[in-house]
Structure 1
Amino acid sequence: MMSSRTWLPAIVLLSLASHPALAAETKQPTWGGTGYPEEWKQLTPAERGYKLLTQKAYLPPDFDQETFDNTWKNWPEPLRSEAEKATPDERRRMAFSRYGLTPRPDDPTKPLQYVVDSAGNWTMNCFACHGGKLSGTTIPGLPNRRFALQTLTEDTFAAKLELGKAPSRMDLGSVFVPLGATNGSTNAVMFGVVLMHFRDADLNIHEDRGIPKMVHHDMDAPAWWNFKFKDYLYIDGFAGKGHRGLMQFMLVKQNGPERFRNWEEEFRDVFAFIASIEAPKFPGKIDQPLADRGAVVFQKNCAECHGTYGDKPSYPERNIPIDDIGTDRVRYDALTPAHRKAYGESWFTDYAKLPNIDAPEGYVAPPLHGIWASAPYLHNGSVPTLWHLLRPAERPVVWKGAEDDYDHERVGLKVEVLPQLPDYARRGAARREYFSTKSFGKSAAGHDYPAKLTEAQREAVLEYLKTL
């Protein structure tokens, strides 16, 4: 049973969405078609996959350009006054900073995280979570540690109300499903649970099904350059890897089962693009003798789970029992065997032709290519640097990352560490700028194995990890 606090906003939003005068204000979206420009056929599948993700919308639009350009009017002070005095370009940069958006490498006038069509509609794509910035450089495939989906949705919805525009699926959905409690992480697993709940194995929609039980929690996005080394997807490694599985984000009501089949070939190209991404090289100086000593320590203590690197690489894709790894188990418990089984018998796996594990033991130890770049660490993004990961007793309780300041010494995010949340950051957008390991699903405990190493060994392993 929903409380009045939940259903009253829902009624308001649904009423607005159905109002004919407001609905008329929304530009007609240019999405839903099949195929792509003829000249794209000359590209490699990987090149085509990138263009499809950045230039083709697979969902209804979230908002339009006018809405985005007016979000600043609802910002808190003194940011709002600064935006009012700024030029349009300066205001755009301020908005990108607030919401964790980055310019596309091939077109800096557009965000990597959204498809912006000729009518000015903005539609989220996969880079919202899997396209970030490091030392001022946008890197497709890098986890976007600053994406502020909840804040962006709240601000664009407020702008729509002022402009007389109808709310989007994201606005309506956020009433029932929180989008993310901390910038840089999202409630993506529950997005999938609730959307898949209303589909059968053929992806037909069943609107008569009740709202499923959900355990809301945030997840950190994995780096895409490790995709090629895996046979199974997700932190619990339950789903065999395939191009259809990449299409789960499309499970909104507006996409019927025929659209998945019509777009399947395009996602073979998206699969090829993700598999083509290479991990970036560490940009700083590496103490090679120290790294060599670290390689020996790593081989003896870490390779059994995380694999080997260099001339003869290997990756065991080992699933560690949840009680052994000891990291936050909310994600493990939130996705039930029934959820995994339903996915494993669906069109996404070609009706069980791909392997599926209904009840995995725990979490999979990921490959560590480019680990230096993919902070924060652990599946929930609770540990800001590799230095902290190697020192379990010294992991911060509350921390806030700088916008674009990389810590070359500790290898990870340059952070402000606090014993508790400051008073001004107890709620709303300010709260989401801070990571509190005391919050549900956000514990930094577990993966205590480095505690048995000496300080010299930890320093050596840290240097070695820069080389991967």
Structure 2
Amino acid sequence: MKTSRLKRLITASVMAVCVFSQVAQGEDAAARGYGVLTEMPLLSSDFDQEVFDNTWQSWPEPLRRKAENASPEERRQMAFDRYGLTNRQDHASGKPLQYVVDETSGDWTMNCFSCHGGSVYGTSTPGAPNNRFALQTMTEEIRATKFKLGKPLSRMDLGSLVIPLGTTHGTTNAVVFGMGLMSSRDADLNLIASPMESFTHHDMDAPPWWHFHKRPYIYIDGFAPKGHRGLMQFTLIPENGPSFFHEHEEHFRDVYAYLSSLRPPKYDGPINSPLAEQGRALFQQTCAECHGTYGENGQYPNRNIPLDEIGTDPVRLTALTAEGRTKYAKSWFARSGDPDAGKTIVDPKGYVAPPLDGVWASPPYFHNGSVPTLWHVLHPSERPTVWRRNSDAMDSERVGFQIDVVEKVPLTEPDVAIRRSFFDTRRFGKSNAGHDYPDVLSESDKRAVLEYLKTL
């Protein structure tokens, strides 16, 4: 009896050690993955510290005069605010989360947090969509500063003259950037001569990375199976040949572990619990079929909604051709060797309804970032045509951005950064139409669902 009990205790102890070891290894891999993104330059450098410190000289008046009279620290913060950069909370020197900065050479190299490392209502949050990122404006002013300083131009400086980087701050043309990089590679990622292709340029709102652990496929149309190799696609600059991808594959297994470890922040404001519970029941009746259920036994269906049913802007879906998706399916990126990985979907019919974990923390909404608050998602006829975020603080009543609504973008405004802070839903690829399902709910039902969404 004693021997049997001792054996059970030993077995239980060994199992506990094994589980602890696996958890520890997972935590170590996630920590390494974060280190890869923040400390390892995987692209060519875009500019150096001297250029960044002097970008204020390319700003319009009166901002330039204000910067001239400011201290270096104040100018740095002004630049961070203008371009949508945030400080790394884990680094005492205040390195930007969005760039790898070499302290010896001073080189700045973009990393994945440029789009996927923003702030949640003013709090720097790795994995949150960077809804402030001003890549086009920043690149134009970096290029102008290099001319002033007599510095050579980078690939980004020149490439942005051909492929626009984003027409509205907080959104980017990253999908087309990836398509352009992929067009000059064969299936084994060797560089090949390829004719100039015509791409359908369109802006996208980056999804939050804290959804990654739930989704078996990636991208809004869900065409690509999730895998560590697929995460490497945006490092396809000409300087990175096939050997680069083989050498860094283990690093991206760690990046995969890091993304898988992320979870959304908790809503820290007051919640009307009875109203939220009412909203939960309504959500399960009207929304869960596509967006899933939440809580201890929650399930995510990964459902692709046909375009003619969802009715949201079609440009993102049609911009990627079946030929382009087929090329990806045959490439090294899709040949991960993972027996659990699905097959590339070369002809998706619509968009995948995303998980809604932390949805309160990731405005704006829809794949193109056209809807500023959850209230507007629930009120399709009330969505503003032209709007602009006016504060870092949350609109706690409507849950999302505090905004100004105007008739049109002020084209006479001399500061391009201000013009690009306005979102005009009449522009190509920026429609806020569709997802009219909330129209079946009464106003009181919508209030209850909105309260429930805060709890996810």
The TM-score normalised by the length of structure 2 is 0.92
Asked if 1:54 is matched to 2:42, the reply is: no
CA apart distance, 1:348: 0.2
Taking a change above 3 Å as real, the CA distance of residues 418 and 304 of structure 1, as seen in their structure-2 partners, is same
The match for 1:217 is 202
CA apart distance, 1:427: 8.3
* Residue from 242, 248, 254 that aligns with 1:269: 254
CA apart distance, 1:431: 2.1
Name the aligned partner's letter for residue 332 of structure 2. W
The match for 1:451 is 439
Q: What CA deviation, in whole Å up to 9, does each residue of 1:115-167 have, x standing for no partner?
A: 00121000000000001112331100000000000011001111111111110
Q: Quick check: 2:266–2:358 contact (8 Å CA) kept in 1?
A: yes
CA apart distance, 1:176: 0.8
Task: Tell me how far apart the structure 2 counterparts of residues 396 and 42 of structure 1 sit (CA, whole Å).
Answer: 44
> Max radius of gyration: which structure?
2
Task: Tell me how far apart the structure 1 counterparts of residues 245 and 397 of structure 2 sit (CA, whole Å).
Answer: 46
CA apart distance, 1:77: 1.1
Across the two proteins, how many residue pairs are aligned to each other? 427
The match for 1:93 is 77
Q: Quick check: 1:65–1:121 contact (8 Å CA) kept in 2?
A: yes
Asked if 1:126 is matched to 2:77, the reply is: no
Once superposed, which parts of structure 1, at least 4 consecutive aligned residues long, lie more than 6 Å away? none
The match for 1:201 is 187
Q: Quick check: 1:399–1:417 contact (8 Å CA) kept in 2?
A: yes
* Residue from 297, 304, 326 that aligns with 1:312: 297
- Give the percent of matched residue pairs that are identical in Structure 1 and Structure 2: 58
Name the aligned partner's letter for residue 153 of structure 1. T
Name the aligned partner's letter for residue 174 of structure 2. A
Task: Tell me how far apart the structure 1 counterparts of residues 416 and 180 of structure 2 sit (CA, whole Å).
Answer: 24
CA apart distance, 1:406: 1.3
2:65 counterpart SS class: helix
Q: How does 1:417-432 map to 2 (within 5 A)?
A: 417-425=405-413, 428-432=416-420
CA apart distance, 1:175: 1.2
Asked if 1:386 is matched to 2:374, the reply is: yes
Q: Quick check: 1:346–1:352 contact (8 Å CA) kept in 2?
A: no
CA apart distance, 1:402: 2.5
Q: How does 1:8-407 map to 2 (within 5 A)?
A: 44-107=28-91, 109-118=94-103, 119-206=105-192, 208-350=193-335, 354=341, 355-407=343-395
1:115 counterpart SS class: strand
Task: Tell me how far apart the structure 2 counterparts of residues 417 and 42 of structure 1 sit (CA, whole Å).
Answer: 46
Taking a change above 3 Å as real, the CA distance of residues 321 and 426 of structure 1, as seen in their structure-2 partners, is farther
Name the aligned partner's letter for residue 159 of structure 1. T
1:228 counterpart SS class: coil
Task: Tell me how far apart the structure 2 counterparts of residues 124 and 403 of structure 1 sit (CA, whole Å).
Answer: 26
Taking a change above 3 Å as real, the CA distance of residues 228 and 429 of structure 1, as seen in their structure-2 partners, is same
Q: What CA deviation, in whole Å up to 9, does each residue of 1:333-368 have, x standing for no partner?
A: 000111111101110011787411000110000000
Q: Quick check: 1:424–1:430 contact (8 Å CA) kept in 2?
A: no
Name the aligned partner's letter for residue 310 of structure 2. I
Report the more deviating stretch, 261-270 or 416-425.
416-425
Name the aligned partner's letter for residue 54 of structure 1. T
1:146 counterpart SS class: coil
Task: Tell me how far apart the structure 1 counterparts of residues 440 and 432 of structure 2 sit (CA, whole Å).
Answer: 18
CA apart distance, 1:42: 12
Task: Tell me how far apart the structure 1 counterparts of residues 149 and 42 of structure 2 sit (CA, whole Å).
Answer: 26
The match for 1:10 is none
Task: Tell me how far apart the structure 1 counterparts of residues 175 and 419 of structure 2 sit (CA, whole Å).
Answer: 22
Q: Quick check: 2:26–2:257 contact (8 Å CA) kept in 1?
A: no
The match for 1:30 is none
Q: What CA deviation, in whole Å up to 9, does each residue of 1:419-461 have, x standing for no partner?
A: 2222434983332111000110000000000011100000000
1:175 counterpart SS class: coil
CA apart distance, 1:395: 0.2
Asked if 1:411 is matched to 2:396, the reply is: no
For structure 2, the residue ranges without an aligned partner over 5 or more in a row are 1-24
* Residue from 405, 424, 431 that aligns with 1:436: 424
The TM-score normalised by the length of structure 1 is 0.89
For structure 1, the residue ranges without an aligned partner over 5 or more in a row are 1-40
Q: Quick check: 2:88–2:124 contact (8 Å CA) kept in 1?
A: yes
Q: Quick check: 2:313–2:433 contact (8 Å CA) kept in 1?
A: yes
Report the more deviating stretch, 188-197 or 414-423.
414-423
Task: Tell me how far apart the structure 1 counterparts of residues 437 and 414 of structure 2 sit (CA, whole Å).
Answer: 33
2:118 counterpart SS class: strand
